[in-house]
Amino acid sequence: MAFVFVQHLDPTHESKLTELLSRSTRLPVLEVTKNLPVRKGRVYVIPPNKYLAMAGGRLKLIPRQMSDVPHMPIDLFFRTLAEDQGHNAIGVVLSGNGSDGTLGLEAIKGADGLAFAQDPKTAKFTSMPRSAIASGCVDLVLPPAAIARELAHPPHHPYLTAPPAERAEEIVAEPSLPYARIFSQLRSATSVDFSQYKQSTLKRRILRRMFVHRIDKLDNYVRLLQTSPSEVGKLFEDVLITVTRFFREPDSFGLLRKKVFPALMRDRRRGAPIRIWVPGCASGEEAYSIAISLVEFLGPKAPEVPIQIFGTDISEPAIARARAGLYRGNIALDVSPERLRRFFAKTDDSYRISKSIRDLCVFARQDLGADPPFSNIDLISCQNVLIYFGPELQKRVIPVFHYALKPHGALLLSPAESIAGFTELFMPVERRRRLYRKHSSLAQIRAALPPPFFTEKAEPLPTTEPARAPEPILPNIERAVDRLLLRRYTPDGVVIDGRMQVVLPYFRTRKVAVMSFRSEADLAALKTAAR
């Protein structure tokens, strides 16, 4: 491996670190004076008055800008390291003041790298390691000598000895029963079924927990989970770890201001609320960023427009942090000084979202794959969430978004995601930035609500009828005419089946007549009567 030292340095004084390290190692020690390719078996040191970044396997120097923004060179380097090296990144936070390094370690953890922090009891300055540990993203907390031994050990563990694809193949070759047991234990403890999540990501994060415990056999880790409820909780949070920050994906926020927000205000009735849903909101940064952007867009009209932003996530600790609205001083890397002054209150080394913005946002725990969605939503911003779902779960969730949106409502995904296979439900507004608009309600919604969650002991109801091929989403011309007539001349309503799926919608629903039926014949009779 290569070693990179990033220190807090006085911008006007020469660093002695290169000279000091050269006395302690036979490895070449280089102060970075220009852009350099990174080579294994070398030590690189940041120079004074510079930022250091990693891109394309090279170290790049960035001039330091003197401003009111706190100097956070470690966070900047760790973030670029995570983006460039992914699972090969290892971050170590040692003694120091402030919280620099915490957000960067979260990025490394989200990219499936490893995160270490010095045991505060051995640190002269404890703020930096304590901040990192409190974030929950640190894999191991150890004295410096023990961290050194751990850095010498990883090449012997399967987590770091092969690229992710090869590791996944190696794991798949093992019996599937251990994984089924792990998913069962997670489901029993958290009521979340991870069997429909992206398997390669899940397995890499299971491997990471095995690395932490020096376990190289899956069966041995299963036995640990069976005897350690705390490890089940740690695995759950490790699986859910995501990279988030304020105003992530700046192009997407530009698109909101340019196209989405103006469309939301066009022909809006006075007093009608703007309703926005942020699924997978993590610790709330995205929801608050959208609230700030919308208030800025509305300007003096903001107090006159009701705004309701719903942030949901599967992690209770993440939702608790979102509700508190308290963030480390590192957010100054992502939030402009003007926004910090206007929308945040400084408290010690942290920033708290102002009450005026906090009051616009409501946060709640929600399992996107199992719990009912919101409805009458103008905008759904679901960025970097679907990438963690397997194909079947994506197929279940995207129609739910269609159901939740108002006619012509907007869906915003990340550049790495798409609505592939559901072009009949959404039309692209900005294909490159993954902004979509809901198609008109002529499209038949087959899965308005997800199916109920079955526990391990529960069995689905048996049926004697053969499985039928699903009806096409787009109706033929006869059905289209029938439904247009129903829309104009019949009372509003829907017909739902025993799984709470909408099978016959009557569009603009206000009052609902609930009809139950026991067979497909009854349903066919209802459809005939409706026509």
Q: State the span(s) of the chain assigned CATH 3.40.50.180.
A: 3-152
pLDDT attached to residue 497: 65
Q: Residues 435-467, buried b or exposed e (16+ Cβ, 10 A)? A: bbbbbeeebbbebbbbeeeeeeeeeeeeeeeee
pLDDT confidence of residue 344: 96
Higher pLDDT, 445 or 394: 394
Token pair recorded at residue 497 = 């089946």
CA atoms within 13 A on the CB side of 371: 15
Q: Is the dihedral of CA 416, 238, 136, 215 positive or negative?
A: negative
Among residues of the chain, what percentage have pLDDT more than 90? 44
Q: What is the pLDDT of residue 501?
A: 61
Q: Is the pLDDT of residue 387 over 50?
A: yes
The whole-angstrom separation of Cα 487 and Cα 496 is 17
Residue 26 tokens read as 């036979």
Q: Which of 219-233, 390-404, 454-468, 473-487 has the lowest mean pLDDT?
A: 454-468
Query: What would the mean pLDDT of 50-76 be, rounded to a whole number?
Result: 85
* Cα 454–chain centre separation: 25
Q: Please compute the mean of the pLDDT values over residues 53-72 and round it to a whole number.
A: 83
Q: What confidence tens digit (pLDDT) does each residue in 89-123 have?
A: 999 999 999 889 999 999 998 888 899 999 999 99
Q: What is the mean pLDDT of residues 227-256?
A: 88
Question: Given a cut of 70, is residue 520 above it in pLDDT?
Answer: no
Check whether 464 has a pLDDT greater than 50: no
Q: What percent of the chain has pLDDT over 70?
A: 78
Phi-psi region at 337: left, alpha or beta (left = phi > 0; alpha = psi -120 to 50): alpha
More confident residue, 88 or 168: 88
pTM, whole model, 2 decimals?
0.76
CATH 3.40.50.150 boundaries in the chain:
250-438
Residues 287 and 256: their CA atoms lie apart, in Å, by 13
C-alpha closest to that of 372 among 391, 393, 397, 395: 397
Q: What is the rounded average pLDDT for all residues in the chain?
A: 82
What ranges make up the beta strands (E) of 225-319?
274-279, 307-313
> Does residue 508 have a pLDDT over 70?
no
Structure tokens at 171: 């794991």
pLDDT band at 388, cuts 50/70/90?
A: confident
Task: Identify which has the larger pLDDT, 215 or 494.
Answer: 215
Q: How far are the Cα atoms of 129, 256, 295, 456, 494 from residue 300, in angstroms, in the given order?
A: 43, 18, 9, 54, 41
Lowest mean pLDDT among 63-67, 178-182, 220-224: 63-67
Confidence of residue 273 (pLDDT cuts 50, 70, 90): very high
The mean per-residue pLDDT over the stretch 309-338 comes to 91
Average pLDDT, integer, range 315-328: 92
Q: What is the pLDDT of residue 392?
A: 87
- Per-residue pLDDT of 364-377, as tens digits, reads 999 988 888 888 99
Q: What is the pLDDT of residue 218?
A: 87
CATH class of the structural domain 3-152: alpha beta
For residues 136-158, average pLDDT: 81
Superfamily of domain 250-438: Vaccinia Virus protein VP39 (3.40.50.150)
Instruction: Name residues whose C-beta falls within 8 Å of residue 241's C-beta, 6 or more positions apart in sequence.
Output: 106, 109, 110, 137, 205
